[in-house]
Amino acid sequence: MTAPTRFKLITGLAAAGALLAGAFASPASAADTITAGDNFFGPPTTFTMSQGENPTLQNNGASQHNVTATQAGPDGGALFRSATIGGGASTAVNGTQYLTSGSYPFLCTIHGSSMSGTLNVSSAGAPQPRPQITLKLSSRKIEKVAKQGRLQVSITSSARSDDASVTAKLGKLTIARAPDLSLVAGQQTKVLKLTKQGKAKLAKKSKATIVLNGTVAFGSPATAKGKLK
């Protein structure tokens, strides 16, 4: 076998070995499970995740516990949070997928600062983009809205969400509210039922400026104005 042939063979074997090593390499480590005992997290009380991940809260104690960030997020709620669960249960800690690298303190709201921990987010991975919504008043005829007692609003959402809300105001008066909305990614129309006071107020007007305010879990609030004539 000539030298050039031996070199090509060795090079080819090395490349194949590298491909096989990549194929069978261990996957990147997943986020730490946040464990809770009887009125304590851990031990240890520090947990690690990569950007873009969702840790799980595992309750190994007898009491109910949750994970709630001490820092507020853009929606006004905790920056990340979990449901409150009983002993032996587990649940996702939501909102962590939007975090950039850094250290984030959290606690259990049932037991307060005496039950606290820290979530360290490494620079590995990439945070997911926070959900965003835009609002637009779809209804146009004030007489129709007042008669039917319904206001139509077009909502465009960047992602699916099961925790959104929209309110409609006429001046300082809230005339309609739609809490606990489920949104799909893209554009959709939601119907807001007028309050009795809001319906009566609109019935006396020939035109009105409606201010819409919307929230989506872990995203920034949205606002828009529309006119009824």
Kindly give, in sequence order, each residue whose CB lies less than 8 Å from that of residue 127, ignoring residues fewer than 6 positions away. Answer: 51, 52, 97, 98, 99, 100
Tokens 């949070």 map to which residue? Answer: 81
pLDDT at 4: 46
pLDDT given at position 2: 52
Half-sphere exposure of 77 toward its Cβ, with a 13 Å CA cutoff?
18
Q: What is the pLDDT of residue 29?
A: 54
Cα 113 from Cα 70, distance rounded (Å): 10
Q: Which candidate, 159, 147, 155, places its Cα nearest to that of 212?
A: 155
pLDDT tens string 178-206: 999 999 999 999 999 999 999 999 999 99
Residue 204 or 22, more confident = 204
Residue range 1-29: mean pLDDT, rounded = 42
Question: Is the per-residue pLDDT at 14 higher than 90?
Answer: no
Residue 157 reports pLDDT greater than 60 = yes
pLDDT at 17: 42
What pLDDT is stored for residue 30 in this prediction?
A: 86
pLDDT, tens digit (0-9, with 9 covering 90-100), for 90-120: 999 999 999 999 999 999 999 999 999 999 9
Indicate the pLDDT class of residue 146, thresholds 50, 70 and 90: very high
For range 43-72, the mean pLDDT? 97
Instruction: Copy the structure tokens of residue 67.
Output: 């994970």
